[in-house]
Amino acid sequence: MTWNVEDLEETARKCRVHIVNMVHRAQAGHPGGSLSEIDLLTALYKTQMRVKSDEPTWGDRDRFILSKGHASPGMYAILAEMGFISVEDLSSYRVLGGICQGHVDMKWCPGVDFSAGSLGMGLSFGMGTAIAARLEGSQRQTYVMLGDGEIQEGSVWEAAMAAAHHELGNLNVILDRNRIQNDDFCEAQMRMFDIPAKWRSFGWNVKEVNGHDMNEILEGLEFLGNNNDGPSIIIAHTVKGHGISYMADNPAFHGAAPNDEQYHQAMIELGEVAQ
């Protein structure tokens, strides 16, 4: 597969359009965290993930676990761009019986390997898939995306400790550090202090990147690939709602849909319609 930074950035832009379209159409959903994660997901799927869109259940595929599963529009957007589902399928977002449910669900949507809902569960699930790969002698990698509000959950740190104990070099975490959770800024809800130091103290390889700079993201993904002596994490500093001026760094758009006027403004800012 050939790619360059400009191609990746254009794919991410298209995904942002898909995200806003889905949430506006449904008048429900979680745009903020989907927009903060999408540069990371684009780079991951386009440059690292060993997957086959025409064979989504291929046994030796890499696994991606969206632990912050409410940010499903971002995942559905990249799955559509990768050919797992069609762009037309995105219109089923939050529609009863549609394949694009409000939270990612592996029983409904091709390319989804984890059914989300309760936060704090994805890393434990990912640890299981990483151990399974080792037991099967497979080279497949597991990637888990966590939200920063989510790492207030104690279950995350139990899994982090166990992953280091088992020396899971095939387990890779991407932390979407957008600093906002459901009710407010994370620091107002529960301060987490020195997050990189916490992961290092649990025995993880740690690298910090700008989660909207495609070159830095690629360096971070290379870091994950080059560290096989134990579990690794890139802490991606992002902006919730990135790409849409009125959503950016705005807690109100954690889980709110744009109205018609706001939708039109978003399409202008994303280069889909003229001003």
For residue 239, the domain's CATH number is 3.40.50.970
Does the pLDDT of residue 117 top 80, yes or no? yes
Q: What share of the chain is helix, strand, coil (3-state, %, to 5)?
A: 45, 10, 45
Question: What's residue 274's pLDDT?
Answer: 72
Does the pLDDT of residue 275 top 90, yes or no? no
Assigned domain for 130 exists: yes
Assigned domain for 190 exists: yes
Over range 22-40, report the average pLDDT: 98
Confidence of residue 2 (pLDDT cuts 50, 70, 90): low
Q: Which helix (H) or strand (E) holds 131?
A: helix 122-135
Q: Which of 232, 260, 262, 233 is nearest to 247 (CA)?
A: 262
Assigned domain for 37 exists: yes
Question: What's residue 143's pLDDT?
Answer: 98
Tally of domains in the chain? 1
65: β partners: 144
Q: Which of 90, 107, 82 is nearest to 29 (CA)?
A: 90
Q: Which domain holds residue 250?
A: 5-269
Assigned domain for 109 exists: yes
Q: Collapsing DSSP states into helix, strand and coil, what is residue 264? A: helix
Residues with Cβ within 8 Å of 189's Cβ and at least 6 positions away in sequence, in order, are: 149, 152, 181, 183
177: β partners: 237
Assigned domain for 274 exists: no
Over range 209-214, report the average pLDDT: 98
Assigned domain for 229 exists: yes
Assigned domain for 275 exists: no
Question: What's residue 172's pLDDT?
Answer: 98
Assigned domain for 253 exists: yes
| 133 Cα distance to chain centroid | 22
Question: What's residue 164's pLDDT?
Answer: 98
pLDDT tens column, 45-80: 999 999 999 999 999 999 999 999 999 999 999 999
